[in-house]
Chains A and B, each alone.
Chain A
Amino acid sequence: MMLQDIALGLLTSNVSAITGSSRLIVDIAMYFGLFVIVAMALNFQYGNAGIPNMGCAVQVIMGGFTVSALTTRLIFIVVAGAGVQLRTWATDYDWVYNNFYNVDVTNKYLATKPVLGISMLLFSIAVSMVLGAVMGWLIALPAIRLRATYLMIVLITMADAAQIFGRNIVAISGGTLGMFIPDILRWYPGDRTVVTAVITLFLGLVSFFIFRTMLNSPYGRLMRALRENEVTVSSVGKNVIGIRRTILMFASGITAISGTLLAFYFSYVVEANYQRAFWTYWPWLMLILGGPGNNAGTFLGCALVTAMRRIIIVEKWLIESLFFFPVAYFESVLLGVLLIVVIMFRPNGLIPEKLLYIPGVNYTQMVREDVKVDWRSAPKARGSSSGLSGMLRSLGVGKKEAAE
């Protein structure tokens, strides 16, 4: 029944087809997709490279601002160039107060232009990735060379700075009022939110597999080495600062996509939607709960936390009578308590980090047997088939020795 409703929403423009628990499922799917992107990028940075990126909110907000400041203007210019009469948007005042009319007219125009809609979606995603990466470079600039603590402090404060700019520079996202953005999926007959949720889930899965592949590549092993001991990494000639900056920029670019998709989901951008607690602390909880350094764990943590949060928010009238205070405060209490409890009682998360997967090498066995080897009685142990030398010989490295 529920699936039928969602299928209906995918195919028809009947918004009322999706109600109740079906709407909740769409909502959870949407936020799950968004948070998979953010949390996987966090896992990439903190779980594997040891960079504590506390500034996810900045990158997400860059995605939102890309849509409101650049994509919307571009669509207006294109639509006005096509001959549709739009009201002026030159000044800040016009930008905000003619916004609704302009978006309404633009939506009618976009209803017949699927190519324009799709190209604008791709444009915003591409630009937000670039801007997110630039932002990652910028906010990392003061502290990337210093202790991790300094980096955390700078990144946390930058989230507030981004919100202050968004609130006061009206040209970006309409200031405190926020602004509507054109519905680029208007040409599609189905429900916009469901389609956006499907796109988001798809992009979330794509980013999941991109990160997974990268972590199993030589670069992923380099990242883990960087996390474990940066002195060793730099001693073998790797540029530690450069690697760290590259990782931060790459992950920031990916994170910015989620802000773009959120803007299209709401068809509305306001800086208050991109709060630090929402876009930094909750992803961190997902990461720590699932298990830092483990992709599957992050995925699981994401699913659990998102489902719990959306159910609490949507069905809050069920538990409202339990508290004498608003449920919104309870959410913060829950966030704080969960973070502390997970850190204290399950520091490795629900699924602890596993050993690396290297094609062709049984790394697990190698580590296990390497631990057993007593190097004080070295000559005999090295000659045997166990231990590191045995492993090397099985790879063909020690063959010459063995022949001799």
Chain B
Amino acid sequence: MRYAETGFQLEIDLSRGNIERVETDPRLTELHLGGLGTNARLLWDRVPPEIDPLSPDNVLIFSAGLLCGTQATGANRTIVSAISPQTRLMAFSMMGGFFAPELKYAGYDKIVLRGRAPELAYLFIHDGRVEIRDARHLAGKGALETAECLKRELKDPNVQVAAIGLAGEHRVYFASIEHARSSASRAGLGAVMGSKNLKAIAVRGTRDVAVARPAEFMELCREVLRYIQWRRDNPVKGVPAILAGIGSPQEMAIHDEEWHTTNFAWGNARHRRKDFWTKENEERWRRSQEQAVERLISCYNCPLKCGAIVRYPALGVSKYMMKCYSKLTYVMGAMLDDLDFGFRIAGRAQEYGVDAYTTPQVMAFAMELLEAGILTPADVAGMPEDREEKFFWLLDRIVRREGIGEVLADGVYWAARRIGRGAEAFDHNTIKKHEQIPIKLGMLNPIYFIMYATGEKINITQIEGQMPQMPFETRQEREEFVRDWIQVPHERFKDYFLNWEPRGERAFPHYPPPEATCEIVEWQEMMHYLDDSLGLCAGLSSFPIKPPYHIHNLPPLVSAATGIDFDEDSLWKAANRNRTLVRAVNNRLGLRRKDEKPPEDHWKKRFPELEARLLETYYRYKGWNAEGVPTRDTLARLDLDDVAEDLLRRGILREEAPAAAEA
């Protein structure tokens, strides 16, 4: 019997209308856990590097994490994966809500989609009944609108729906997949879904999800819930309000936006406004938020209320749902100081189904090109005069790929190259063709340098986390902090933090030293890979400081749930195996060291020699060669021999490949 997982996945060929329920190999669970890990395995096995991501040959996977649908709090994440049309690398995006648990209750760990439906279709799943149904009547409808339509048609308010909006239907490179208050936003997975003519997936499940050692597992879950209660009531001292709690950053509940508005870059990741958070702005924004947020809501089996119902009839927006940073991204990207604008445009954007990180930056990029004369008024004929209206207009064009929207819909990197005439210089905030969080700081941060450069998710928020981002001023404050820091993998992490100073020798950029920096990076990254394989919300685990889930309680939890015994080493190894496999998928798609660099202006003070040393140290630390490709030995140690053979056959790895050069 299989525990935690169902042991079955749906394999669907949309071209042929073929649906199969396939039993999975339990050995893969031991090796890769589930979620992102087994997704990577499937993509490695089934998608050769030559295919076009928007062709029927791309494989789109919706996966529940291994622990989803068990009793574990916050085990509710769906991990969507495919090859990205924007980055041409492996895309993986996670969304919360209720979809993954419902899929497990229906009896499936994954939905694996290939091909392209002949007409717009939606997938209907109710336990053993799985059908590809006509969705032509849903064409052009918003993502949330589609969900409400399907709930009515199916006469089932409890059905969980993931859908694309107009942006996905038009294969916008930053189209998202929306579900309830959650979103699989980044890297164009919505475009892949649209390219398969799949409008939505509706799932309903009424089966049991079993665990191997019930009493033991429940006791561990109880402990986690107790810690959540305590941690919720005891925010971390000495860090900004928005980083002190757990869950997603509590943007919907907290009004204090000083940290984001004064540290992050406005416009096309261009302007830092250190004096933005005046009393006046604070008051205005507080009023906007209080009026807009109707209620705070949660995801499945989680007590934190990171999401909100936004209801702002005065602004002519119908109700929608929001969480996290998208509250600010449009406001800051557009350089408009009015939070009302953010709430208004985000509502429209959600129905269209677009990535709230990328979209504001693409629009800001377009505005800069206009100001610089690289785009002319003829290119944007019809654009309104009013500054706010300009952004609504741009959004409307982009999601339809109309006029200037056609080229902007490819994202900043591709748009810059298609426009030419010097536009490339304005593409200053992408890594591996993917838009980054708009933050440009002064001093190089070695930990973040490695994370920005090498992270496979190409998004800093999904590799950073448990390590505080800045040192504390006094030794006393640091000692206070480490006293109850149970989450560190090893005591020496406490020492790294204790010795970390804001100024002097033991400050950025030379502290932490490269080896310690690698350890800190790997810790943060491994925790994310575990979350993304187990289906745990990073807000309870890899993302905040002092989270409820960590390397010491995850092994017993996974063991008791699955009946497969993991300890800290073997669980860490599984996470590392998954991470390395994703790297191999990307190497096969062309990723090399030359791609691994943050934007030139990401920090004012750069240190090329130190940076080269950091990268080389990290490659060596991970067991990769000088090109950033895992060596044959590393792959063998991680039970990925078949991956090594393929890389060798393709000449991506060579026999006796030298280890990364010593600095």
B is bound to A: no
Interface of B with A (CB < 8 Å)? none
Interface of A with B (CB < 8 Å)? none
